[in-house]
Amino acid sequence: MPAVIEAINVGRTFKAPKGELKVLSELNLTIEPGQTTAITGASGSGKSTLLQILGCLDRPSTGLVMIGGRDTSRFTDRELARLRNKSIGFVFQFHHLLPEFCAWENVAMPLLVQGRELKKAEEAGRQILSELGLEQRAEHKPNELSGGEQQRVAIARAMVTGPLVLLADEPTGNLDRATGQNVVQLLWDLNQRTGIALVIVTHNQEIAQRAQRTLELKDGKLWTK
């Protein structure tokens, strides 16, 4: 089975007022199926940039990213969008739920984007909400949910398409400690139950230590801790 994600000699530079800003430099990373990986590093070290590149939300300036053995550098923007929708789940610090839609509608949205029939998308959305203990909140809009519930809905949305990998960028950064611990436990439970690979960017060393491996992003490269 091919690696879920393979970053090969990835570099990323941005234009800055005083020239180019190099954030990533000849970075290499392999994510195997079912593997849990924590990425730490100082603020501004490029962790979110790396996650966006691994999830094909951004393209590297140099090098390439393979998803499931497929070279994404050859993909058009539309093909990348389809790949993200099918194979990659995203969870961010802020849940980014659509405020005008209820929980099940937010969760079902990726399936509707795929062209899934509304009734089947609703069934799938309600099913995964039930699995995450939110069956009684399916009709509630985001402003009617607690912060932890909103993040669980966001996780359900990320999981509903059955992706290969879940990329989480500081998923507990906007939550209190107890709620954050519950969200982290949910992520690890999903990893154990479904076999999905998990990549989590975090400043929290307690969270990082739960992963099978912890990497530090420093000077544009990843270092094993």
With respect to residue 183, please indicate whether it lies within any of the assigned structural domains: yes
With respect to residue 102, please indicate whether it lies within any of the assigned structural domains: yes
Q: Is the pLDDT of residue 121 over 90?
A: yes
With respect to residue 106, please indicate whether it lies within any of the assigned structural domains: yes
Q: Are strands 19-31 and 62-67 parallel, antiparallel or unpaired?
A: unpaired
Whether the model clears a pTM of 0.75, i.e. scores above it, the answer is yes
- Tokens linked to 132: 């995450």
Out of 34-48, 64-78, 150-164, 178-192, least confident range: 178-192
Quick check: 121 and 197 in contact, CB under 8 A?
no
**In total, how many domains does the chain have?**
1
Mean pLDDT calculated for residue range 198-213:
91
Q: Please report the pLDDT score of residue 92 as a whole number.
A: 81
- Mean model confidence pLDDT for the chain: 89
Percent of the chain with pLDDT over 90: 48
For 37, the 3-state DSSP assignment is strand
Q: How confident is the model at residue 56 (pLDDT cuts 50, 70, 90)?
A: very high
With respect to residue 24, please indicate whether it lies within any of the assigned structural domains: no
Mean pLDDT calculated for residue range 165-170:
91
With respect to residue 204, please indicate whether it lies within any of the assigned structural domains: yes
Q: Is the pLDDT of residue 20 over 90?
A: no
- The values of phi and psi at residue 86, to 5°, are -90, -40
Q: Is the pLDDT of residue 86 over 90?
A: no
Q: Is the pLDDT of residue 186 over 90?
A: no
The C-alpha atoms of residue 151 and residue 117 are separated, in whole angstroms, by: 25
Mean pLDDT calculated for residue range 6-35:
90
Range of the domain at 120: 34-54+91-224
Single-letter amino acid code for the residue at 221: K
Mean pLDDT calculated for residue range 201-212:
90
Nearest to 66 by CA among 194, 165, 162, 168: 165
Question: What CATH number did the domain enclosing 212 receive?
Answer: 3.40.50.300
Quick check: 74 and 80 in contact, CB under 8 A?
no
Mean pLDDT calculated for residue range 179-194:
85
With respect to residue 63, please indicate whether it lies within any of the assigned structural domains: no
Q: Is the pLDDT of residue 175 over 80?
A: no
With respect to residue 67, please indicate whether it lies within any of the assigned structural domains: no
With respect to residue 199, please indicate whether it lies within any of the assigned structural domains: yes
Q: How confident is the model at residue 22 (pLDDT cuts 50, 70, 90)?
A: confident
